[in-house]
Structure 1
Amino acid sequence: MTLGKTPESPLRAAVAVRRVLIGEEDAGQRIDNFLLRECKGVPKSHIYRILRSGEVRVNAGRISQTYRLQAGDEVRIPPIRVADRPAAPEMGAAQRHPFRIVFEDEALLVIDKPAGLAVHGGSGVSFGVIELLRRQRPEAKFLELAHRLDRETSGLLIIGKKRAALNMVQDAMREGRMEKRYLAMAAGRWMNPLQHIKAPLYKYLTADGERRVMVREDGKASHSVVRLVQRWERYSLVEVELKTGRTHQIRVHMQSQGFPLLGDDKYGDFALNKTLAREGLSRMFLHAALLRLQHPLTGEMLELRADLPDELAGFVKSVDANQKRDFG
């Protein structure tokens, strides 16, 4: 009788205790979050079980799941079974191309993100900016997004290279100590040189399960400051400063004023978008152009800029050439 092979388990056993020395890039992170990242494929319930049982030790002592790691800590990770990682998805030639770096030091990396690329994988997207950066920089011990940009938005994106720097940047964003300005072109003639839009934003799901946002009284407080840059007969170029950072904030605030962003496939003028595609604009006109922030470690004030990408700058030139400018 021929015996069949025993099916191989998708799990593989870790056969020895691991001891991990914590560097500055992980300082400040909670031990439970560190373990969830370090032991990918292990159920969250099991991570918390080995924490409660005392099998995980820091500097040979027991710790709670809320303990924050410090540089120089030694973490003892017991033998556990982890899932075999699936093969990483293939990247196209364009996506293997290095990102344009606007600023980099030992704490932060700021890139000029191209439109059409998500900042992270998920929701049907195999990979995004952060996954690509990690593959391009296999030696990097820590790379995490400090914030997000919509997939079709281009411009400045901050990535933390140290846990402490990441936490401080995110604190600055929450507390309104970072200045973020975007360039956007909208349908219609925007008249006010300066206008504050304070309209609460409410998130909901469509019947198809897609995420959407609308202005609604029971939404979250949201504040955008719109400055007119240039206007023509049919379009307006504006600079929008975010005082809050809600999902789709600029897109929905501008739409609520009757000025949808050109090329916006969720909140825009869909008939106009088809015409724009024939005129050479096949993406949403929204670009993260300026960041002002205090460096989280040195305290130096940083002012970072990203010029309009060629496809947006070219569209501005064509509008300028084909339409009579009217400031009246």
Structure 2
Amino acid sequence: NEGGQRLDNLLFKKCKGVPKSHVYTVVRSGQVRVNGRRADAAYRLQIGDVLRIPPMRVASANGEQAAIAGAELKVHLPVLYEDEALLIVDKPAGIAVHGGSGESFGVIEALRRQRPQARFLELAHRLDRETSGILLLGKKRSALLALHQMFRESGQAGAVGAADKRYQVLVCGRWSEPLRHVRLPLLRYLLSSGERRVRVADDGRAAHTVFRLLARWERFSLLEAELRTGRTHQIRVHLAHLGFPVAGDEKYGDYTANHALAREGLKRMFLHAWQMRFPHPVDGRRMVVQAPLPEALTRFVERLATPESLANGR
């Protein structure tokens, strides 16, 4: 009776009381088997599949789950726009968009707990835990499906209904080009620990990022990144591959540089989804939403010396 359902969703249903983070851990480590083999959490079960679920400890009702609920209620999510079909929030850095993969809770769990009257509330796309900025959610299934279609079309040249997503990112190094199109295919893979990573590879999926130089200092450059496709960790991996790691990026960045940056006051990754242009999922009107640069990032930039003049390509 579970044909077509994702493996992780079935496990959540069958293993009530087990933290989602632990469910994802046993899947990544290969303890969950489908037809005797490892399976990804996104695998859709087929009629006739044999599923092995290992023994798992259930969390106490008033222990871990209560602590998670308390943490959710403290999450501050500024609302940038809201109507009957759409909710747009300014996600802070350090919180995942949803629970699982080592996270006890995320934006969607926090919003559902804060809005118990909401009949429908689903993520339209994702942001990395360390990334702050604009996040769209559907409040109706029809709006959610339209948003999903919009993001799928974002990687298609000339698509009328595509979203225009812009990020501000501070990189280590002196970027020289005012405008640069980066087309490097990206491949997702797993470390031995089960952690997901991405690298540039010829057999990866097509990925296109447009970078514009906004300001430059002796050690840093401030860029605007426009996503033409929406691959996992796309901006971070493209920049790291080019030799300009994102300041504060613990996954793909420079460990030594990040340690020094923390002493200088930058204690998070400098990547922020600051603007999005897209057609409204119901009436099609053109939406333009902006999220100001967080105070912690603004303070760090203000402490840097006056940026160089970029006139005449300097």
Q: TM-score, normalised by structure 1?
A: 0.73
Kept in 2: contact 1:196–1:224 (CA 8 A) = yes
Q: Distance in 1 between matches of 2:13 and 2:71?
A: 29
1:144 aligns with 2:116: no
1:174 aligned partner: 152
Q: Distance in 2 between matches of 1:285 and 1:228?
A: 15
1:41, CA displacement in angstroms?
Answer: 2.8
Residue ranges of structure 2 left out of the alignment (5+ in a row): 16-57, 155-161
1:89, CA displacement in angstroms?
Answer: 4.0
Q: Distance in 1 between matches of 2:211 and 2:66?
A: 40
Change (3 A) 1:120 1:105: same
Deviations 1:45-87 (A, max 9, x none): xxxxxxxxxxxxxxxxxxxxxxxxxxxxxxxxxxxxxx9x956
Deviations 1:94-122 (A, max 9, x none): 85244100000000100000000000000
1:130 aligned partner: 108
2:50 aligned partner: none
Change (3 A) 1:95 1:285: farther
1:209 aligns with 2:194: yes
How many equivalent pairs are there? Answer: 255
1:315 aligns with 2:300: yes
1:159 aligned partner: 137
Q: Distance in 2 between matches of 1:122 and 1:97?
A: 17
1:41 aligned partner: 13
1:276, CA displacement in angstroms?
Answer: 0.2
Kept in 1: contact 2:124–2:136 (CA 8 A) = yes
SS in 2 for 1:240: strand
CA RMSD after TM alignment = 2.5
Deviations 1:176-213 (A, max 9, x none): 21100000000001111110000000001112111110
Q: TM-score, normalised by structure 2?
A: 0.76
Change (3 A) 1:94 1:127: closer
Q: Distance in 2 between matches of 1:326 and 1:232?
A: 10
1:287 aligns with 2:259: no
Kept in 2: contact 1:200–1:220 (CA 8 A) = yes
SS in 2 for 1:271: helix
1:325, CA displacement in angstroms?
Answer: 2.9
1:319, CA displacement in angstroms?
Answer: 1.2
Q: Distance in 1 between matches of 2:259 and 2:100?
A: 28
Q: Distance in 1 between matches of 2:268 and 2:85?
A: 32
2:77 aligned partner: 99
Q: Distance in 2 between matches of 1:154 and 1:317?
A: 19
1:326, CA displacement in angstroms?
Answer: 5.4
Q: Distance in 1 between matches of 2:116 and 2:106?
A: 16
Change (3 A) 1:189 1:311: same
Kept in 1: contact 2:124–2:148 (CA 8 A) = yes
> Which residue, 170, 173, 176 being the options, matches 1:185?
170
1:108 aligned partner: 86
1:246 aligns with 2:231: yes
One-letter code of the match for 1:119? V
1:12 aligned partner: none
Deviations 1:136-193 (A, max 9, x none): 0000011100000000000000011000000001101101211000000000011111
Q: Distance in 1 between matches of 2:215 and 2:141?
A: 41
Change (3 A) 1:133 1:155: same
